[in-house]
Structure 1
Amino acid sequence: MSAFDRPVNAHGEEIHRLFDPRSSSMHYRVPESQLVAYNTAKQVSQLQLLNPCTNNIEPDVRTVVIHIDGACRDNGRPTAMASWGVYVGPGSRYNARGMVQADLPQTSSRAEIEALSHALIIIRQIASHDPLLQHFKIMSDSEYLVKTMSMWIEGWIDNGGLGSRGQPVAHFKKLQEIHETLDEMEYGGSRINVQFRHVPRENNQEADRLANEALDAWSRVNSSNVVLHTGIVVLA
């Protein structure tokens, strides 16, 4: 994909919930190593852009970058335990982690979905604290989740929860709920725009660390014979 070529689906329609800095006139010339910077005053990570007038790299003041990840130990076994992490920046008051509720599937894929669900709650909190922040970029190392929320979910909804081959989509009800929340955020009164970007696992280590810290905390408490697996959010 060259600069300014916006991502499109099989029908040639722009995928407006997919973020690719190479297709953005404001961001494509910013080196990847400088694309995101932490705003200490606002306690959020933000994109940076190249100012066409000064040719300087500056904060994109209306953006927020959020990394999400899920973790699951003993994945695929009856003893599996899953957790999620949401990372907004170093020391940010918005960073959060928690366990996937015990009555939900304890899998790595569900953990990723729960991380996204909690990220949307945090996005609303951030936007309520600072209405200038309206453009949110969610970074995930799950290519499946990114494509689900940016490319596939509307088709699945039209097909009644069935995939392209007619198979039931896993976690469809929750995915549909998230999609409807995204629509309400974007087209409702708040006008919050959310886009997704797939990043390599090595670029998502802080969100992964938060998810694993939630598992570690649960293990410590559980080893003391105290049950703590309610999905309660624990601020990092």
Structure 2
Amino acid sequence: MYSYSRCGHQDERDASVPGRHYRPTWDVLCRSIPKDQLLAYNSTKGILQIQEQEPGSEERKVDDGSIVLCISGRCRRPGVRGARAGWGIYFGPGSPHNASGPLDPDLPQTETRAEIEALSRAMRVVKDTIISDGFHPRRCFIKTHSLYIQQVFPGLVRRWAAAAGRNIYGEKVMYFQLLMDIESLMRDVGNTGEDEEGGTNVLIWCAATEENREADELAVLAIL
């Protein structure tokens, strides 16, 4: 079984757990590549993919079995009347899959709810549009600077599910059903592949805010 800690290492053998954490510095094939050169845009598929470099080699190659999607949620005037929240999802420069928008006014106008919306929408794009008969990515990286998303997946959401949607204090978890729906989407994506290992491995890429600028800008534009 995996062990959970916030952005901590997890047992790589349990690839069936969706939402395991990832950092390029943990990856021997990525740690020597500068952050601003780590991703390559596949204009044919409209997606970002991760680059790799063998230790001791100068040659880099794109992992054709990867997809990197970036998500962000932002809120203007949080905690006061008139607060407005928006979400952004970024698949690459000029990608037809890029999208953003304000939260429905009937929803709680918070950054957390916007981040959840971004994740939900991005996973649906991957499942319904990007993955196809001709493309079953081996790894799907969800790049986010949201501490909430990083904390919830995969450990907390699974603990809450075992406790029928309640936290350690016995209180109902806010957005529990939506979070469970997202984990179900991650599992659906993971079960799409045809290989014996079960398809796509969904990973939460724990990024700093400055490393997720494009998705963040989309979320900001949605509430201007």
TM-score, length basis structure 1: 0.79
Q: 1:154 to 1:198 in 2, by over 3 A?
A: same
Specify the structure having the higher radius of gyration (Cα).
1
Q: Find the residue that maps to 1:49 and give its secondary structure.
A: strand
Which residue does the alignment assign to 2:175? 171
Which residue does the alignment assign to 2:25? 22
Which residue does the alignment assign to 1:43? 46
User: Quick one: which amino acid aligns to residue 58 of structure 1?
Assistant: K
Q: Give, in whole Å, the separation in 1 of the partners of 2:35 and 2:75.
A: 29
Deviation for aligned residue 1:105: 1.3
User: Quick one: which amino acid aligns to residue 123 of structure 1?
Assistant: V
Aligned residues: 209
1:69-108: CA deviation from partner (whole Å, max 9, x where unpaired) = 0111121123122111001111111101112122221111
Which residue does the alignment assign to 1:194? 202
Q: 1:127 touches 1:134 (CA, 8 Å); kept in 2?
A: no
Q: 1:122 to 1:84 in 2, by over 3 A?
A: same
Which residue does the alignment assign to 1:213? 221
1:140 lines up with 2:126 in the alignment: no
Superposition map of 1:58-137 within 5 A: 58-124=61-127, 125-128=129-132, 130-137=134-141
Q: 1:157 to 1:76 in 2, by over 3 A?
A: same
Higher RCO (C-alpha 8 Å, min separation 6) = 2
Which residue does the alignment assign to 1:229? none
Q: Give, in whole Å, the separation in 2 of the partners of 1:149 and 1:13.
A: 12
Q: Give, in whole Å, the separation in 2 of the partners of 1:121 and 1:129.
A: 16
Which residue does the alignment assign to 1:153? 157
| Backbone CA RMSD of aligned residues | 2.4
> Of the candidates 4, 17, 29, which is equivalent to residue 9 of structure 1?
4
Q: 1:87 touches 1:94 (CA, 8 Å); kept in 2?
A: yes
Q: Give, in whole Å, the separation in 1 of the partners of 2:209 and 2:57.
A: 34
Mind listing any 5+ residue stretches in structure 2 that lack a counterpart?
A: none
Q: 1:175 to 1:78 in 2, by over 3 A?
A: same
Q: Give, in whole Å, the separation in 2 of the partners of 1:188 and 1:63.
A: 14
Which stretches of structure 1, 4 residues or longer, exceed 6 Å deviation after superposition? none
Indicate the percent of aligned positions where both proteins have the same amino acid: 33
Deviation for aligned residue 1:67: 0.8
